[in-house]
Chain A
Amino acid sequence: MTMSEQINKVTELATRQSGVAKFRQDFPCLAQTISDHPLVYLDSAASAQQPLAVIEKVADYHRHNHANVHRGVHTLSHRATEAYEGARDLVQTFINAGSRSEVVYTSGTTESINLVAQSFCRPKLAPGDKILITHLEHHSNIVPWQLVCEQTGAELLVAPINEAGEVDIDNLFRQLENGVKMLAIAHVSNALGTIMPLREIIEKAHSLEVPVLVDGAQAVPHISVDVQELDCDFYAFSGHKMFGPTGIGILFGRETLLDAMPPYQGGGDMILEVRFDGTTYNDLPYKFEAGTPNISGAIGLGAAVSYMQTIGMHAISAHEHELLQYMTGQLDQVDGLRLIGTAADKASVQSFLLDDIHPHDLGTILDHQGVAIRTGHHCAMPVMDFYGVPGTARASLALYNNQDDVDRLVAALTTAKEIFR
């Protein structure tokens, strides 16, 4: 590397760092102390913090524009509807859905997946039919399928993972060829951070006419998602993992599939005409949005999308990728630390164990030094069983984290070692 290249690289790094420092200031919740230590928040995979842009957008809605949507001719109802539907447009652009009819509001990833299991799969499944998932799914991409299997007599198949936490693609392909009716798969593993080679998998599934649902909860905050490029049939994610409010999420569904599906729940807003001798359902996406929706949540989600777009998904990915490599490297140097989840392609997350310290004890010791991490099974008990551990400690990154956060984590781990010496 020439001197000028080196200078360019340093400048680029410095620019990126200062840019990130600026983003961090947008998150008021991060500016506090825990047990007299400045907070280091490394639990964004559980729930990300909200920037002021989201907090204020939601507050502004409550303060000035609240009314029910799609119902009134009065001004407030009009404003609320505009904001609520405007957020849908933002989401559509964000994930590059072909049409706004394909963007269904739900309460979160969990409801999105349950909706597909019950509305898309259940009517089609017969005893002996097979649904395929992988070993590293979150419980929310396991249990809805178990339920629909119980209801229909279908069978749940599981594609195995290797020691690094990568899905055995050959095995997955073999099982797909075995007459599978549905594939449900994470985009990014919440416990291990593994990024799935989705395009390859979806291409294979579609060659066998197997529809694919992607659990994108852990992908959307970190990597650019284009549902048309992925060519997935369903894509589920949550607002609160991507700097938006809790209780709001999205189900993207291919329009032709959504159109053919019966409603998931009945109620107001999902109908065109209700008579006692029969009801006509509303058009997409409203057919799947029964009852008064989470209006402020949707508006907050829209604000979160705008916020992320302002920064740019590629800038966010690049920053996090660099930071994850730094964190993994630093953790790997801690004596007695075992990294769990070492896939070649990863995002945001590093799980680990330290000596024989139970993750929950580690969590307490770190919290008392202001470092918030997740400990436990991460709603992925089968993953824990695979590694033969009751749980792990998990540090997860978001756009607002920096190298100082990682250094504080490592220092806190040193204290844990001293206490348990």
Chain B
Amino acid sequence: MIAQSQSQEELRDLYRELILDHARSPRHFGKLDGATHSAEGINPLCGDKLKIYFSIDADGRISDAKFEGSGCAISVASASLLTDTIIGLKTEAALDFFSTVISRLSGRSEDGEQPFSKVDLGKLIALEGVKEFPSRVKCATLAWHALNSAIRNESETVSTE
């Protein structure tokens, strides 16, 4: 029964109360009228499809953010937490969150070095449960890749594949 309790423990670590709460009642959900930036994220493996909208004002501050779409609990909760976190931030600060989240969840930085933390993740730490579930890291990072793409004005649709 030790095995059972350990694997259940890991599952509960993935599906923490905060994650389930944001998955069930996503914050800032819907289309953002008058958005200046947007990007779509698609995870073909499980069919997650999210669109993220931002209003970025003249001095580079994200004044508002919303998202819509459907996906698994992890991807929806991650998008919800993302919007909660980055509203009011300068785009550079939001990108610091992006690189930190990607680094911490995938266990490496962009240049392959050890994971780093440019910022204090705060409640985003709740996403760290996915580290034990490699196949789900893409779900957790989907919205973040869309954020990066929207701010950098890259392609409209990012895919995890």
Residues in chain A within 8 A of chain B (CB atoms): 35-37, 357-361, 364-365, 368-369, 375-377, 384, 390-391, 415, 419-420
Contacts and interface: CB of A to CB of B under 8 A. Distances in A.
6 contacts: A36-B3, A360-B45, A368-B10, A376-B45, A384-B47, A420-B73
Given A360-B45, A390-B70, 9 more contacts: A35-B7, A36-B3, A37-B3, A360-B74, A368-B7, A368-B10, A376-B45, A390-B47, A420-B20
Contact of A35 (B2, B3, B12): B3
A252 B97 CA distance: 56
B3 A376 contact: no
A419 B7 contact: no
Contacts of B7: 35-37, 368-369
A360 B72 contact: yes
A360 B20 contact: no
Contacts of B11: 364-365, 368, 415, 419
Contacts, number: 62
Contacts of A390: 47, 70-71
Contacts of B48: 360
Nearest to B2: A36
Given A358-B73, A359-B46, A375-B46, A364 B8 contact: no
B74 A361 contact: yes
A364 B12 contact: no
Contact of A364 (B2, B4, B70, B136): B136
Contact of B15 (A359, A360, A361, A376): A361
B70 A36 contact: no
A352 B14 CA distance: 23
A391 B3 CA distance: 30
A420 B48 CA distance: 19
Contacts of B2: 36
A30 to B, nearest CB: 18
Interface in B1-37: 2-4, 6-8, 10-12, 14-15, 20
A37 to B, nearest CB: 6
B47 A377 contact: yes
Given A391-B46, A420-B15, A420-B20, A360 B3 contact: no
B102 to A, nearest CB: 20
Contacts of B45: 360, 376
B135 A364 contact: yes
Nearest to A381: B47
Nearest to A421: B20
B56 interface: no
B100 to A, nearest CB: 24
A376 B12 contact: no
A36 B12 contact: no
A419 B73 CA distance: 12
Contacts of A368: 7, 10-11, 133
Contacts of A361: 15, 72-74
A15 to B, nearest CB: 33
Q: Which of A357, A360, A368, A415 has the most CB of B within 10 A?
A: A360
Q: Which of A364, A391, A419 has the most CB of B within 10 A?
A: A364
B139 interface: yes
A364 B134 CA distance: 10
A364 B2 CA distance: 19
Contacts of B20: 420
Contacts of A376: 45-47
Contacts of A419: 8, 11-12, 15
Contacts of B12: 419
Interface string B101-133: 000000000000000000000000000000001
Given A35-B3, A37-B7, A420-B20, A391 B47 contact: yes
A415 B7 CA distance: 11
A199 B11 CA distance: 48
Top 8 closest A-B pairs, CB basis?
A36-B3, A360-B46, A358-B72, A360-B72, A390-B47, A35-B7, A361-B73, A368-B7
Nearest to B132: A368
A384 B49 CA distance: 15
A359 B46 CA distance: 8
A340 to B, nearest CB: 15
